Amino acid sequence: MDPRESYDRVFELLREHHSWFDSSIPLIASENVTSPAVREALISDFEHRYAEGWVGERVYAGCRYIDEVERVAMDLAKDLFRADHADVRPISGVVANLAVYTAFTKPGDVMMALPITKGGHISAGPLYGSKGNRIGGTAGAVHGLDVKYMAFDDEEFNIDVDRTLKRMEKYRPKLLMFGASEILFPQPVREIADEAHAMGAVVNYDAAHVAGLIAAGRFQDPLREGADTMTASTHKTLPGPQHGMVLTNDGEKFELIKQACFPGLLSNHHPNAVAALAVALAELKAFGRDYADQIIRNAKALAEALYNAGFKVLGERRGFTESHQVIFDVADIGGGMWAEKALEEANIIVNRNLLPYDIKRGRHFRDPGGIRLGTLEVTRLGMRESEMEEIASFFKRVLLDREEPSRVAADVREFRRRFRHVHYCFDCPAEAYAYRRLRG
C-alpha cells in the first residue's frame, strides 16, 4: 500500500471506532472514558520526554515542570488512598505488580493468589498449569514465582478463609496477592493478613479494578485491613489514563518498590500519563464519592433488572454485587462466545468470562459460561438506575428473545443520543467520544 494510503486509512479507522463507540453501550468492566482534561494532558509535550529516576534526582535535564507535576500526582494519590508513600511511575497495573514481585520476592519463592478461573488476573498467574500446560502468567513466566492458589468459595463468590489459611500453612508463601479481575464483593484481607505476616509474608492488594471505589471510601480499604502494599491500574474505576501505581505506608518497603521501578522495570515512565493521572486524581477527589456511589447503585440495579428479566446472575445470596461489576451465566443459552458476539452486533460491548465452576463443567476460556459487565463507563456518561433497566431489556431482546441484533442496535443508537458527555469532571464541554483532529 502507498504510505499515504496507509496513513489515511489509520485515521479513517480511528474515526470509525469513535463513531461506533459514540453509538454503543460500553460495559467492559476494565474500561472507562477519560475527561477532556485528562486527554489534554496526555497529548501535551510531556509525551515526548524522559524523566528517568526519582523526582528531584532525574538523570536528564529538562524535568523542572515534569517534577512538579509528578509531585502533585503523588500528593493526590497519598491523600486519596490515605498512604504515606506513592510511586506513580509504573506504566500499567502489570508493571506495578512486577514491581511488588521484584521488591519482595526471589525467583522460586511461593506466591499465593486467585487462579484465573476464579477471577484472578494473568499477571499473578504461573508459568505452567496443574496439567503441565503452559499458561505463561507474568508471576511465573517473568519473575519465576511458584504460584499456589488461594481457595475460593464459588457460592459466595469470594476467597474461602479457612481453606486458604490451611493452604498457607502448607505452602508458606512469601507474598500474598489479593484483588481480582472478577470481583463482586470485598475480600477477606483482615481475616488472612495477620497469619500471612506471622509467617513472614508480604501482603499486596491488587486494586486494578476497584481503585476508584477504594479512593472514594466505597469498597474495602486494604491498607487499613492489613495489606502492606497496594498496586493499581489507573484507568478502570479510577477514570484516568492507562497507567499504574503502587502505594504503601511502610517506608522500608517503599525504598524497595522505588528501586524495583527504577532502575528495575522502567526507563521511560510516560510523564504525560503522570500529568493525566494527576488531573484524574484531582477530579476523583472532587467528584469521586458521587461517582462511586452511582457506579455501585447502577451495578446493583443492572444485576437486579437482568435477574428479573430471567438471567442467572451470580452473587444472588449477597445482593449480586458491591462493586462496579455484574456477572451472569449464559452457559445454557448459547455460551459466552455467542453472547458476546450477538451483543456486539447490537452495539453492546461486553466481555465473556470464565465462571468459577466452568472448568469443572468442561468449559474452556475461549467459550466460557459467563458474561462480565461493568457500570463504570455508562455511569461516567450520566446514566442512572432507570437506564440500567433499559439496558437489561436490550440484553433480554438479544439473548433471550433472540431478536435480530441489528434491530436492537438501532434502538441502542437512539438510546445513546441522550448520553453524550463525560460527567464527574471540572470541565466537561466536549462530547465523550468526539474525534479531535490536529492535522489541520
Ligand X SMILES: *Cc1c(COP(=O)(O)O)cnc(C)c1O
Tell me: does residue 298 bind ligand X (CB under 6 A). Answer: no
Among 147, 180, 381, 399, binds ligand X (CB under 6 A): 180
Nearer to ligand X, 208 or 276 (CB): 208
Beta-carbon contacts of 190 under 8 Å, excluding residues fewer than 6 positions away, are 225, 226
**Residue nearest to ligand X according to CB distances in the complex:** 93
- Residue closer to ligand X by CB (options 174, 209) is 209
Residue 121 in the binding site for ligand X (CB under 6 A): yes
Cα 204 off chain centre by: 16
Rounded Cα gap, residues 126 and 250, in angstroms: 28
Q: Does 208 bind ligand X (CB under 6 A)?
A: yes
Report the nearest approach of ligand X to the CB of residue 262 (Å).
18
Nearer to ligand X, 235 or 416 (CB): 235
Q: Which stretch binds ligand X (CB under 6 A): 167-175, 202-210, 360-368, 389-397?
A: 202-210
The Cα 218–Cα 325 span in angstroms is 14
Closer to ligand X by Cβ: residue 208 or 422? 208
Grid cell at residue 133: 500446560
Nearer to ligand X among residue 181 and residue 187 (C-beta): 181
- Residue 138 found at the interface with ligand X (CB under 6 A): no
Q: Considering only residues 58 through 97, tell me which ones interact with ligand X, judged by CB under 6 A.
A: 92-94
Nearer to ligand X, 209 or 324 (CB): 209
* Cα 152 to the center of its chain, rounded Å: 20
Q: How many CB atoms lie within 10 A of CB 295?
A: 26
Q: Supply the minimum distance, in Å, between the C-beta of residue 66 and ligand X.
A: 22
Exactly one of 58, 89, 143, 209 binds ligand X (CB under 6 A); that residue is 209
Q: Centre a 10 Å sphere on the Cβ of residue 389 and count the other Cβ atoms it contains.
A: 16
**DSSP letter string over 359-425?**
TTTT-BTTB-SEEEEE-HHHHHTT--HHHHHHHHHHHIIIIIS---HHHHHHHHHHHHTT--B--SS
Q: Residue 200 in contact with residue 339, Cβ under 8 Å?
A: no
Nearer to ligand X, 232 or 409 (CB): 232
Distance CA 151, CA 184 (A): 16
- The DSSP letter of residue 427 is -
Find the shortest distance in angstroms from Cβ 314 to ligand X: 17
* 32 makes contact with ligand X (CB under 6 A): no
375 binds ligand X (CB under 6 A): no
Residues that bind ligand X (CB under 6 A): 30, 92-94, 121, 123, 179-181, 206, 208-209, 233, 244
